[in-house]
Amino acid sequence: MPENNGTGSSTRSGTDRSWLDRFFLIGERGSTYGREVRGGLTTFMAMAYIIVLNPVILSSVTDVNGDVLSAPQLTTMTVLSAGLVTIMMGLVGRAPIACAAALGVMAVVAYQAAPVMVWPEVMGLVVWQGIAIILMVVTGVRTAVMNALPHDLKLAIGVGIGLFVSLIGLTNAGFVSAGDGGSLLQLGVAGGGGHLDGWPILVFVTGLILASLLLARNVPGAIFYGIVGATVLAVILHYALNLNDQVWGGGVPALPSSPVSMPDFGLLFQVDLFGAWTSAGPTTAGIILFTLVLAGFFDALGTILAIGTKAGIADDKGQMPRVNQILVTDGAGAVAGGLTSSSATLVFVESTAGVSEGARTGLASVVTGALFL
């Protein structure tokens, strides 16, 4: 007879456990199938905002030739890459870690790489980023650096990247801008005299407050609900007040002509692996590649540590089981992101939301990846 260990799972012998249980170590980590499914669903809800945010950011930037990426195509590629890589993380890394387009790397892609090269060349560098990460894992360099960094520094890296991404969000919302009088930063858009006004600011503040309140109350999917709430408010204002498109800038909250459409795979494999080294020059391309690797490298360090600690599967030194497999999958995600032109698909710290709901194994990641697809 199975003996309950007090966590809702059973301590059955290896012959009594199903192959799924043995593969994902569900019983050994004190979890259940129900907890893994619930955790995978919660992680998806917490990070689903990237389906909207990644296309919004990348489609708003022109490359050196003035070309833009298609938002519908980016949406398809974002979910395709996130779904496949997250399932791969669940099966190979066997950890409750989901992957999607990394905001830190996305900022480098949009604001540093695109202005000096065309989009296929930008995504070629993202592919090289993933290859470099995989080589660092295979040679032991990445693991050695992870072990050498102090625990507090690993945590601080995630904080720094978060602040950087927050600044991008505040700027895109029109909440802050470069100072008119030479100051580093000011409230409002450039030329606005430091004032906050307009319907987009109201929508932004409302969504931010809603998401913050839900986060404070530990509501799973708080950020996602904040985005949905802000979107609904924007749509209502747009039609109720008959606002023109210029009020909203680049993102008009108009209802789609059709609720369902076929996915557009037009950006798949639109990549140039070697063009950046010629068009932008080896020095510029090398610096951008180094920045991409650095951003992805340290972003993953803090994220993996945070998730492993939250799940109770990392030791007191921050070491994760199957860490090499996790890191290789992370590198493969960058390659996948480049091949789909959706930017590097790396580990997401929002996975801790699913861990809070009981996720402890890679089965939760398989559930999250399936929901993306």
pLDDT digits (tens, 9 = 90+) for 186-228: 887 776 666 787 888 899 999 999 989 988 997 766 777 888 8
Grouping H, G, I as helix, E, B as strand and the rest as coil, residue 69 is: coil
Compute the distance between CA of residue 21 and CA of residue 315 in angstroms, rounded to an integer.
22
Q: Which residues contact 179 (CB under 8 A, 6 or more apart)?
A: 185, 186
Residue 360 has pLDDT above 60, yes or no: yes
Domain assignment of residue 14, yes or no: no
Please state the rounded mean pLDDT for residues 294-315: 81
Please state the rounded mean pLDDT for residues 278-282: 91
Q: Are 150 and 318 in contact (CB under 8 A)?
A: no
Grouping H, G, I as helix, E, B as strand and the rest as coil, residue 295 is: helix
Average pLDDT, the chain: 85
Domain assignment of residue 30, yes or no: yes
Compute the distance between CA of residue 22 and CA of residue 74 in angstroms, rounded to an integer.
37
Domain assignment of residue 3, yes or no: no
Residue 5 has pLDDT above 80, yes or no: no
How many CB atoms lie under 10 A from the CB of residue 314?
Answer: 19
Domain assignment of residue 51, yes or no: yes
Domain assignment of residue 19, yes or no: no
List, for residues 307-339, the tens digit of each pLDDT value.
Answer: 888 888 877 666 778 888 998 999 999 999 999
Question: Which of 56-70, 194-208, 307-321, 351-365 is predicted with the least confidence, judged by mean pLDDT?
Answer: 307-321
pLDDT at 168 (0 to 100): 74
Compute the distance between CA of residue 241 and CA of residue 247 in angstroms, rounded to an integer.
11
Domain assignment of residue 300, yes or no: yes
Indicate the pLDDT class of residue 27, thresholds 50, 70 and 90.
Answer: confident
Q: Which residues contact 86 (CB under 8 A, 6 or more apart)?
A: 98, 99, 100, 365, 366, 368, 369, 372
Residue 4 has pLDDT above 60, yes or no: no
Q: Are 368 and 98 in contact (CB under 8 A)?
A: yes
Domain assignment of residue 97, yes or no: yes
Give residue 242's domain range: 25-62+71-253+267-372
Compute the distance between CA of residue 204 and CA of residue 175 in angstroms, rounded to an integer.
8
Question: In terms of Cα–Cα distance, which of 343, 335, 331, 305 is closest to 136?
Answer: 331
Q: Number of folded domains in the chain?
A: 1
Domain assignment of residue 17, yes or no: no
| Positive or negative torsion for Cα 144, 149, 150, 154 | negative
List, for residues 134-173, the tens digit of each pLDDT value.
Answer: 999 899 887 788 778 787 777 677 677 667 767 877 887 8
